[in-house]
Homo-oligomer: A and B are copies of this chain.
Amino acid sequence: MNILIVFAHPEPRSLNGALRDVAVAQLEADGHAIQVSDLYAMNWKAEIDRADFPALGADARLRVALSSGEAYATGTLTDDVVAEQEKLRWADAVILQFPIWWFSMPAILKGWVERVYALGFAYGVGEHSDNRWGDRYGEGVLAGKRAMLIATAGGWPEHYGPRGINGPIDDLLFPINHGILFYPGADVLPPYVVYQADRTNEARFEKLAGEVRERMQTLFTIPPIPYRKQNYGDYQIPTMTLHDEHHTGMAGFAVHHTE
C-alpha cells in the first residue's frame, strides 16, 4: 500500500524524528511504498496568503475560499501545493506526525492543511440539496483511505484524562481527527500519543518504538473511530444537527460517534 507521512518537527534528532524513522523502517520492511513530507526540511510555507494564488489580480480582493476554488479549478495553485495534493491522492493511508504545542498541531502543519486543502479539493465538493450537504464528513477526496495521528505531548496522561485539567486528549484532537481528516472522507484511526515526551530514556524509547511498529503493522486492520457519516440520515439537513433519536439528550463531540 501507499503511505504518506506528513511530519512537522524542526529537529530530526528529536523523539518525533526517531519515531518517524521507526515507522518508516517498519512500513518499508512490510513492503509498503512511502513518501514523507518533512515540512520543516522542505521549508514549507506556513501561511496562506496572496502568493498562493498567482493568477489573482494585483488589485483584486483576496477571498481565501473563493480564490482557492478558482485556482484549483483553473490549475493555477502553486507547485508545492499541487505536489501535496497528488501525494494525498496517491496515498492509501495518511499519517500526520507532530508534537502537540498549545493543545494543537504546529503552525507549519496547520498551514499545510490551509494551503493544500483547497476549495474544490477538500471542501465545497459535491451536491448541496435536501438530501446531501456536500461530500464531507465521511465522503470526499480521502474516502477509502485511512488516516491517523502520531503525536507527542509534554504533560502527563492524567492531565489529558477525562477530568484532567488540559481536557481529554480525544476532545482536544477532535478538531483534527473529525474536522481535518474525517471531513474530506478518511477513516480515522485512534491516535498514537506519547505523553511526557521530554522524559524518554533508552529503555522507554524501545517500548515506544515497539508500540509504533505495532501501530504501523495494524494500519489497515484496526477499526477506525466510529464517526457518523453526514449524508446517511443521522443529521437534519441543512441545519446539520443530529436527529433527536441518536444520543438523545446528549451534546458535544461524543454525539458524533455512532452508538
Contact = CB atoms under 8 A, between A and B. Distances in A.
Given A65-B198, A161-B241, A180-B103, A167 B114 contact: no
24 contacts: A10-B64, A11-B61, A11-B62, A11-B63, A14-B63, A46-B46, A46-B107, A102-B110, A104-B110, A107-B111, A158-B241, A159-B241, A162-B252, A163-B250, A163-B255, A165-B230, A165-B235, A165-B240, A166-B240, A167-B253, A167-B256, A168-B251, A171-B171, A175-B175
Contact of A106 (B47, B103, B156, B250): B47
Contacts of A103: 175, 179-180
Given A158-B239, A239-B156, A241-B163, A107 B48 contact: yes
A145 interface: no
> Most chain-B CB neighbours within 10 Å: which of A50, A103, A172?
A103
A106 B175 contact: no
> Most chain-B CB neighbours within 10 Å: which of A107, A161, A171?
A107
A185 interface: no
- List the 10 closest pairs (A to B, CB-CB), nearest first: A107-B111, A162-B251, A46-B46, A103-B179, A103-B175, A158-B239, A107-B110, A165-B240, A11-B62, A47-B108
A40 interface: yes
B64 A242 contact: no
Task: List the number of copies, as a whole number.
Answer: 2
A25 to B, nearest CB: 21
